[in-house]
A and B are shown apart, each in its own frame.
Chain A
Amino acid sequence: NAGVIQTPRHKVTGKGQEATLWCEPISGHSAVFWYRQTIVQGLEFLTYFRNQAPIDDSGMPKERFSAQMPNQSHSTLKIQSTQPQDSAVYLCASSLEENTLYFGAGTRLSVL
């Protein structure tokens, strides 16, 4: 079991560019979550999919952020027109239903 796989590990974008982050959940896990983590704000929930359907996106900034789960083996988080304040570590987690969350190593997004 390779765990939750996130790619890329580090992404650098210029202000105004688009960033797409990828997540491959643990095989068989029905729930996928996206979080972001910064030193100032700590761990912040963004969005949640169950069986590929969006369940809760209450943590997603209303503009520029979108997430999809086109199949059970991967999810993407897209940030349009990236801004310096979007710089953070973006974490994907998966779980069997809503039990223990297992996190990936994260994608460090740096917006210059």
Chain B
Amino acid sequence: DAKTTQPDSMESTEGETVHLPCSHATISGNEYIYWYRQVPLQGPEYVTHGLQQNTTNSMAFLAIASDRKSSTLILTHVSLRDAAVYHCILRTNSGGSNYKLTFGKGTLLTVTP
């Protein structure tokens, strides 16, 4: 997985919208942007992924810059359950050892009532 850069921590209040940034200046054309989140004593939870177009699902909206060198995970109406470490990683969807995921430190999102 190629290198990504995320802020160490961010804070939010319940009900707010949070923008979690990730930069990936050396992303390759066949690399997808994946987001996972993890809370203590639980395995990583898949959030979303995208290649070029913005994507949305029940958990989050993923905004991808037109040059693909950065992306932003947008969480709307955050709750205490959204407090976690959010990991942004790059991986291809086929070939090589794309299943050998590695996580960096990620962004610790703190949500206060």
Partners in one complex: yes
Categorize the interface residue count of chain A: 20 to 34
Known A-B contacts A42-B103, A43-B103, A98-B93; A91 and B43 likewise in contact (beta carbons under 8 Å): yes
Check: B102 CB closer than 8 A to any chain A CB.
Answer: yes
| CB neighbors of B among A28-54 (8 A) | 31, 33, 35, 42-43, 45, 48
Measured between beta carbons, the chain B residues less than 8 angstroms from A82 are none
Check: B68 CB closer than 8 A to any chain A CB.
Answer: no
Q: Which of A11-19, A64-72, A73-81, A99-107 lies at the interface with chain B?
A: A99-107
Measured between beta carbons, the chain A residues less than 8 angstroms from B45 are 103
Measured between beta carbons, the chain B residues less than 8 angstroms from A31 are 99
Instruction: Tell me the bound Cα distance from A93 to B103 in angstroms.
Output: 15
Contact with A along B47-63 (1 / 0, CB 8 A): 00100000000000000
User: How many chain B residues touch the partner (CB < 8 A)?
Assistant: 17
Check: B98 CB closer than 8 A to any chain A CB.
Answer: yes
Check: B66 CB closer than 8 A to any chain A CB.
Answer: no
Q: Which residue of B lies closest to A106 (CB)?
A: B43
Contact B98 A98 (CB under 8 A): yes
Q: Which residue of A lies closest to B43 (CB)?
A: A103
Known A-B contacts A98-B93, A100-B49, A102-B46; A108 and B41 likewise in contact (beta carbons under 8 Å): yes
Measured between beta carbons, the chain B residues less than 8 angstroms from A106 are 41-43
Q: Which residue of A lies closest to B44 (CB)?
A: A103
Nearest CB on A from B74, distance (A) = 20
Instruction: Tell me the bound Cα distance from A4 to B42 in angstroms.
Output: 12
